[in-house]
């Protein structure tokens, strides 16, 4: 319910950050627990006074959901925002490689702190006037025909000066550009060859593409070196195959490194997803939605991975479309210069999809 008292269906879910939607009964129940209330009020400086429950989550919850390849041994660093996690992953790469130059991709978005912003290539206005970290920009394929060219151009940038390569599984902010898994396999292989850390920025995609990690759709021959997360996970951080050495910990410390009551919400989310098979149900509903969108005359360039995706409008102005849909009680997000972004929660079901399609048919069908 909005501040105007009207009911909305949010298909953008607070910029892709609410996996169970608003006020899910399991989340409300978890937050009513006096122990969780106490953890929220008395937020710990986790490196010094970690609550017992938080230590258990570090031992059991994070290894359980960590991507394939990070289980044994696994390492997780926790922070507060996606940008901070990216920043810390950059430092991690720099230490490991004794290098300070990074590679990111044209159209990529990694956040707005100094390091993350230096790797962000979606809107020059956001970086104007700020200092930058050394970053080389590689081309990102707009279609399958561009994969070979982009991989070759990428390879030309790789050398011993490169600390790490940062890539999004779907360039979300940049316009929901989705490359074929073979492109990511090529980039991974080139990184392996040069021993450059291959860092997958899953801040927007984690828990969103019908699985925990979007990169698991790629069939990589070797797991990424680092996977960064935030948003739907409720806490930000990164998984790494190799840990930060104890004598370096202070270089990575933050008072609120991770958040015990937020990790409890994450635990509730994971339990709910598993118990209610939400990856499966949201994927079925999402594929139905995108399938029908492909049949609409006023819509083009539909792309999706299960319930995660976007489309362009044939004639209607994007901002006008979003505004009209909002007046009809349905919230969409923008991405790129002209695309409409869909990031539903995992409780998306057939009835919701039908009512969205009904409105869309009337407006752009």
Ligand X SMILES: Cc1ncc(COP(=O)(O)O)c(C=O)c1O
Positions that interact with ligand X (CB under 6 A):
15, 81-83, 86, 109-111, 168, 172-173, 201, 203-204, 230
CA distances from 113 to 13, 139, 165, 270 (A): 23, 23, 17, 29
Q: Nearest approach, Cβ of 166 to ligand X (angstroms)?
A: 9
Q: Nearest approach, Cβ of 346 to ligand X (angstroms)?
A: 18
Q: Nearest approach, Cβ of 73 to ligand X (angstroms)?
A: 26
Q: Which is nearer to ligand X, 176 or 201 (CB)?
A: 201
Q: Which is nearer to ligand X, 14 or 53 (CB)?
A: 14
Q: Nearest approach, Cβ of 322 to ligand X (angstroms)?
A: 18
Q: Which is nearer to ligand X, 66 or 204 (CB)?
A: 204
Alpha-carbon gap, residue 48 to 227, rounded angstroms? 25
Asked if residues 162 and 101 have their Cβ atoms less than 8 Å apart, the reply is yes
Bond preceding residue 73 cis, omega within 30 of 0: yes
Q: Nearest approach, Cβ of 225 to ligand X (angstroms)?
A: 17
* Residue 133 CB neighbour total at 10 angstroms: 17
Q: Which is nearer to ligand X, 138 or 203 (CB)?
A: 203
Q: Nearest approach, Cβ of 212 to ligand X (angstroms)?
A: 16
Q: Which is nearer to ligand X, 194 or 303 (CB)?
A: 303
Q: Which is nearer to ligand X, 51 or 344 (CB)?
A: 344
Which H/E stretch holds residue 165?
Answer: strand 162-167
State CA 136 to chain mean position distance: 22
Q: Which is nearer to ligand X, 51 or 169 (CB)?
A: 169
Quick one: angle between helices 25-32 and 34-41, nearest 10? Answer: 80
Asked if residues 56 and 267 have their Cβ atoms less than 8 Å apart, the reply is no
Residues in the chain, total: 365
Alpha-carbon gap, residue 230 to 206, rounded angstroms? 8
Which H/E stretch holds residue 8?
Answer: none
- Give 240's strand partners: 75, 226
Do β-strands 101-105 and 9-10 pair in parallel, antiparallel, or remain unpaired?
Answer: unpaired
Residue nearest to ligand X (CB): 82
Q: Nearest approach, Cβ of 204 to ligand X (angstroms)?
A: 4
């Amino acid at each position: 319910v909005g501040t105007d008292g009207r009911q909305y269906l949010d298909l953008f879910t607070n910029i892709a950050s609410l996996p169970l939607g608003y006020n899910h009964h399991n989340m409300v129940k978890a937050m009513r627990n006096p122990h969780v209330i106490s953890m929220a009020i008395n937020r710990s400086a986790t490196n010094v006074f970690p609550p017992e429950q938080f230590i258990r989550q570090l031992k059991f919850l994070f290894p359980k959901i960590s991507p394939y390849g990070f289980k044994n041994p696994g390492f997780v660093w926790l922070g507060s925002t996606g940008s901070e996690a990216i920043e810390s992953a950059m430092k991690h790469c720099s230490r490991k490689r004794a290098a300070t130059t990074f590679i990111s991709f044209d159209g990529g978005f990694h956040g707005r702190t100094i390091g993350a912003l230096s790797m962000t290539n979606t809107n020059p206005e956001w970086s104007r006037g700020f200092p930058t970290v050394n970053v080389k920009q590689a081309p990102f394929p707009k279609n399958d025909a561009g994969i070979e060219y982009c991989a070759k151009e990428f390879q030309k940038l790789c050398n011993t000066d490169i600390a790490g390569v940062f890539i999004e599984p779907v360039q979300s902010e940049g316009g929901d550009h989705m490359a074929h898994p073979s492109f990511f396999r090529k980039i991974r292989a080139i990184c392996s060859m040069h021993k450059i850390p291959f860092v997958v920025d899953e801040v927007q995609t984690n828990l969103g593409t019908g699985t925990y990690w979007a990169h698991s759709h790629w069939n990589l021959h070797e797991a990424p070196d680092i996977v960064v997360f935030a948003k739907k996970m409720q806490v930000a951080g990164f998984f790494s195959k190799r840990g930060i050495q104890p004598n370096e910990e202070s270089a990575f410390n933050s008072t609120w490194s991770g958040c015990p009551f937020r990790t409890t919400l994450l635990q509730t989310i994971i339990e709910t997803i598993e118990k209610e098979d939400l990856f499966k149900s949201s994927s079925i509903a999402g594929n139905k939605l995108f399938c029908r969108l492909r049949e609409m005359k006023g819509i083009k360039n539909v792309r999706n991975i299960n319930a995660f995706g976007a489309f362009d409008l044939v004639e209607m102005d994007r901002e006008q479309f979003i505004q009209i849909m909002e007046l009809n009680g349905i919230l969409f997000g923008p991405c790129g210069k002209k695309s409409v972004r869909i990031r539903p929660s995992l409780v998306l079901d057939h009835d919701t999809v039908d009512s969205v399609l009904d409105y869309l048919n009337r407006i752009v069908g």
